[in-house]
Structure 1
Amino acid sequence: MAADRTHTGRVHRLAQDSNWDLAPDYSPFAPPAGPPAGPDWRRPLDALGTVLVPPQARPAPAEPPTELLPQAPQAPQLPEAPQVPEVPEFALPPQTAQFPPPHPAPQPAPQPAPQPAPVARRGRRALALTAGLGLGRGERERERERLTATIRTPLHRSFRIAVVGLKGGVGKTSTTLALGSVLAEARADKVVAVDANPDTGTLSMRVHRETRATVHDLLAAEATITGYMDVRRFTSLTPSGLEILANDADPAIANSFSGEHYRRLVDLLSRQYPIILSDCGTGLLHSSMRAVLNLADQLVITATTSVDGASSADATLEWLYTNGYGSLAQRSVTLISSVRSNGRTIRVEELVAHFESRCRGVVVLPFDEHLALGGEFAPEKLRPKTRRAYLDLTALVAEGMHFAPPATGPHAAAAPTW
């Protein structure tokens, strides 16, 4: 990951004395700082010194690079002399398309042209970035730094990401592992990925397991959980810093993972992890899947360039739109994985154009032999273009952190301790 040189806000530092473990209090209930008193301080939220920044104190989203925004037309300058300017009439705004008076009146100071609102980077742009087209080395480095800064967007509550699709074998587990790995490497937060597949998922089979514990074991010990280390006993840590919480290998036990179980699990994890990913199964009607959708802030829809892989992703979005999850589908992100197949495939450009009209953004993942093998996931074995595509995907997902509403309702997570 490129070093983050983006300044995201004012940070107070103290000398290593008795007040070393104190941090500035950004909460809205803190008393205003008087002229001589300086900032208020309070205990940090964890050993890393994390301090939650409320929405009103968070920095504004990073502006997209100027080359992504259309240039506003420049207003023509009226000549000061009384001569008629030899300028085509269509080049002047309607209110100035006339001859100047013999003695020009004082003109008000020109107002800056309004800038268009930033828009999410879409599929064709992501495809060009992934392929390295049209960008010099310096531009690529600046773009990488911008993406990394976006991935480090501050959070005011636990953010839940679900990777979904109606078909197996379209890269849901690989996407969960890659997305979680980039988030864990780029951010200082704790990130956990949960195997939420009630049909015995393969998430834990793709990493080196440190424990045989599963989601059922963690739920059984729910009454004894008081802090992060109590949860950490049930997870496996990957080299990137991503933690994995496995499901049971027995299909009968895995299928008993209900919607209520998932709600309890997310409620428990939200107190310790700022980011929770869920690797979901193919059954949208399963009770656990309903709970996943009800609690998700961001969806990642997985598709492939094969006909059945693209059709299943489109059917997933159609189901979401027609079953009360329209806003969730609209702000979702689609990842199109390229496949090598003797069967019929669809042109990537056509798929990008189609899914752009149905969700917030599209990223194209090039074919990668390491992912095709389906063994233990090792990010360092991915091709550079594959790693870049996953960086684009993670940044696009992180842009959704600005849209996440505050947690409400009976299953809203309790106040976090991270």
Structure 2
Amino acid sequence: MSADYDRLFRAQNDAVQTVDQAAERDATSADATFNSGPGRSEVTPPALPISTLTHAAPSPPVRDTEITTQMPPTRSAAPQGQANGMMRTPNAEANAGARHEQPRTAPAPPPRPAQAPAPTQHFAEPHSDPVGAGRLGQPTPTSAASIGNHRAIDALSHVGVKSAVKMPPQRGWRHLLYVLTRINLGLSPDELYEMELHHRIRRNARDSYQIGIFGLKGGVGKTAVTVALGSALSRVRGDRILAIDADPDAGNLADRAGRQSAATIADLLADKELARYNDIRAYTSMNAANLEVLSSEDYSGARREFNDEDWKGVTNIVSRYYNLVLADCGAGLFQPAARGVLSTVSGLIIIASASIDGARQAAVTMDWLRQNGYQDLLGRSCVVINHVVPGRPNIDVDDLVAQFERHVPPGRVMVLPWDRHIAAGTEIQLELLGKTFQRRIVELAAALSDDFDRLERR
């Protein structure tokens, strides 16, 4: 019986070995066939128990189209020196497998049907490529950066608009024709020129723009020019303008402008409770053109002369309430009051009489300004040649104008004719001045106004 048991046990072992050898041969041939093709991945079938292999037929070889997801374990999965009896160890010398071979190339997808082009965008994204879009034959989208950040309403300010109604003329034969026939030919060239002068005068003056009126010789008409200029500026601009009597020898500015208040500069400086415009208005006089005047002390009752400290003190007060300040100065440049005015003013008027003596005094004034550090102020100066006596002067006025224009900017030399109203010595009213005198004063105001928006000051 033991012999039969040995024979039976040996036959079963031989069958198991035969089955194991056949399965190993089949697996080896399947691996070789599967890995021989391009793009094949190494696939190892799971090991089966011995009891199953004893009663089952050998597993068929793996087909080319069959792919499993189980990957063979690495050598590091088991301790070194031990073999896994349940799974076959891959060959380390073979460089086949998914880690060493290129992935299988996917077949090209079928061509898609043509689609309609997308609608053109008006505004492209910040990182769009308009050049590439143009190469593809598509319309190039407009970038927001190319349009800019300007508002559309701002561009309309540059569009010219023609008025359907003309302004009727106010003087001359055009005005007479308009009154008789109601035919409106529009403004005359002279009226258009006057409108341009008024437009220049209405320029905005930053801070409190101060203008000094100087003349080295007395009797050249500094006070009359101050009143006429201030009245023209006030009437055209319509804002607050103040003229200050800065003559240390007691000038008569308030008398020529129309005195309404007996208060003086000394009274204004003595008041320590000035908080608003109405407080200052109590110390000034106003004429018919709304020009305000601040007079100096009476010469007989003055304790001292007007100096630079008085000028700086009064300008520190009034500059907060008046847009333009005019200074009617004395006849000298070395006086403290004149030095104080020159240290703060932004514009200058040099007045000379229409005589050889007056022309020399004006030339000396310009040379003194140039030699004493007021070269920039000379570039913002105007020269006035004033006819203080009737009749023809003993000097060529045209030649004198050409000589003065070499030292000041063009268009800043004015010639004032003799005026009967000014020669009377009474209160100066702008409406009573001659038409030529008024036009020259307006041109003088326009020339000074050209410097209102200049950056350099004092």
Alignment TM-score, normalising by the size of structure 1: 0.62
- The counterpart of 1:209, out of the listed 237, 245, 259, is 259
Q: Sequence identity of aligned pairs in percent?
A: 37
Task: Quote how far apart the aligned CAs of 1:253 are.
Answer: 2.2
**In 2, distance between residues paired with 1:398 and 1:256?**
32
Name the stretch that deviates more: 254-263 or 151-160.
254-263
Equivalent residue, structure 1, for 2:446:
395
- The counterpart of 1:275, out of the listed 316, 321, 324, is 324
Task: Quote how far apart the aligned CAs of 1:357 are.
Answer: 0.8
Please tell me whether the aligned partners of residues 200 and 247 of structure 1 are also in contact (alpha carbons under 8 angstroms).
Answer: yes
Gap regions ≥5 residues in structure 1: 1-34, 36-58, 60-135, 408-418
Provide the secondary structure at the position in 1 that maps to 2:188. Answer: helix
**In 1, distance between residues paired with 2:454 and 2:377?**
11
| 1:305 is the counterpart of 2:354 | yes
Residues 248, 349 of structure 1: CA spacing in aligned structure 2 closer, same or farther, 3 A cutoff?
same
Gap regions ≥5 residues in structure 2: 1-150, 152-156, 158-185
| 1:326 is the counterpart of 2:375 | yes
Aligned residues: 276
What amino acid maps onto 2:314 in structure 1? L
Task: Quote how far apart the aligned CAs of 1:149 are.
Answer: 0.3
Task: Quote how far apart the aligned CAs of 1:364 are.
Answer: 1.0
**In 1, distance between residues paired with 2:309 and 2:221?**
27
Task: Quote how far apart the aligned CAs of 1:220 are.
Answer: 0.6
Matches of residues 150-161 of structure 1 in structure 2 within 5 Å?
Answer: 150-161=200-211
What amino acid maps onto 1:386 in structure 2? F
Alignment TM-score, normalising by the size of structure 2: 0.57
Give the aligned CA root-mean-square deviation in angstroms: 2.5
Equivalent residue, structure 1, for 2:413:
362
Provide the secondary structure at the position in 2 that maps to 1:333. Answer: strand
**In 2, distance between residues paired with 1:272 and 1:254?**
28
What amino acid maps onto 1:199 in structure 2? D
Task: Quote how far apart the aligned CAs of 1:208 are.
Answer: 2.3
Please tell me whether the aligned partners of residues 306 and 339 of structure 1 are also in contact (alpha carbons under 8 angstroms).
Answer: no
Equivalent residue, structure 2, for 1:346:
395
Equivalent residue, structure 2, for 1:248:
297
**In 1, distance between residues paired with 2:282 and 2:437?**
32
Please tell me whether the aligned partners of residues 199 and 255 of structure 1 are also in contact (alpha carbons under 8 angstroms).
Answer: no
Provide the secondary structure at the position in 2 that maps to 1:401. Answer: coil
Equivalent residue, structure 2, for 1:294:
343
**In 2, distance between residues paired with 1:284 and 1:312?**
12
- The counterpart of 2:430, out of the listed 356, 379, 393, is 379
Q: Give 4+ residue runs of structure 1 displaced > 3 Å after superposition.
A: 339-344, 404-407
Task: Quote how far apart the aligned CAs of 1:155 are.
Answer: 2.0
1:53-107 CA deviation, whole Å, 9 max, x = no partner? xxxxxx9xxxxxxxxxxxxxxxxxxxxxxxxxxxxxxxxxxxxxxxxxxxxxxxx
Residues 357, 260 of structure 1: CA spacing in aligned structure 2 closer, same or farther, 3 A cutoff?
same
**In 2, distance between residues paired with 1:377 and 1:211?**
17
Please tell me whether the aligned partners of residues 200 and 255 of structure 1 are also in contact (alpha carbons under 8 angstroms).
Answer: no
Residues 308, 181 of structure 1: CA spacing in aligned structure 2 closer, same or farther, 3 A cutoff?
same
| 1:230 is the counterpart of 2:279 | yes
1:223-257 CA deviation, whole Å, 9 max, x = no partner? 21001000000000100000000001125727532
- The counterpart of 1:140, out of the listed 190, 204, 207, is 190
Please tell me whether the aligned partners of residues 170 and 337 of structure 1 are also in contact (alpha carbons under 8 angstroms).
Answer: yes
**In 1, distance between residues paired with 2:397 and 2:300?**
36
Please tell me whether the aligned partners of residues 184 and 240 of structure 1 are also in contact (alpha carbons under 8 angstroms).
Answer: yes
Greater Rg over alpha carbons, structure = 2
Provide the secondary structure at the position in 2 that maps to 1:300. Answer: strand
What amino acid maps onto 2:322 in structure 1? Y
What amino acid maps onto 1:232 in structure 2? R
**In 2, distance between residues paired with 1:155 and 1:324?**
24
What amino acid maps onto 2:295 in structure 1? A
Provide the secondary structure at the position in 2 that maps to 1:336. Answer: strand
What amino acid maps onto 1:200 in structure 2? A
Equivalent residue, structure 1, for 2:384:
335
**In 1, distance between residues paired with 2:406 and 2:208?**
29
Task: Quote how far apart the aligned CAs of 1:341 are.
Answer: 6.2
Matches of residues 103-118 of structure 1 in structure 2 within 5 Å?
Answer: none
What amino acid maps onto 2:270 in structure 1? A
Please tell me whether the aligned partners of residues 165 and 301 of structure 1 are also in contact (alpha carbons under 8 angstroms).
Answer: yes
1:184-213 CA deviation, whole Å, 9 max, x = no partner? 001131000000000111101213211100
**In 1, distance between residues paired with 2:276 and 2:359?**
42
**In 1, distance between residues paired with 2:280 and 2:358?**
36
Residues 167, 153 of structure 1: CA spacing in aligned structure 2 closer, same or farther, 3 A cutoff?
same
Equivalent residue, structure 1, for 2:146:
none
Equivalent residue, structure 1, for 2:229:
179
Task: Quote how far apart the aligned CAs of 1:350 are.
Answer: 1.0
Matches of residues 182-201 of structure 1 in structure 2 within 5 Å?
Answer: 182-201=232-251
**In 2, distance between residues paired with 1:325 and 1:206?**
30
Task: Quote how far apart the aligned CAs of 1:310 are.
Answer: 1.4
Provide the secondary structure at the position in 1 that maps to 2:451. Answer: helix
Task: Quote how far apart the aligned CAs of 1:171 are.
Answer: 0.9
What amino acid maps onto 2:350 in structure 1? I
Q: Which has the higher contact order (CA 8 A, sep 6+)?
A: 1
**In 2, distance between residues paired with 1:147 and 1:362?**
16
1:359-416 CA deviation, whole Å, 9 max, x = no partner? 1211111111112222211111111111111111111111121225368xxxxxxxxx
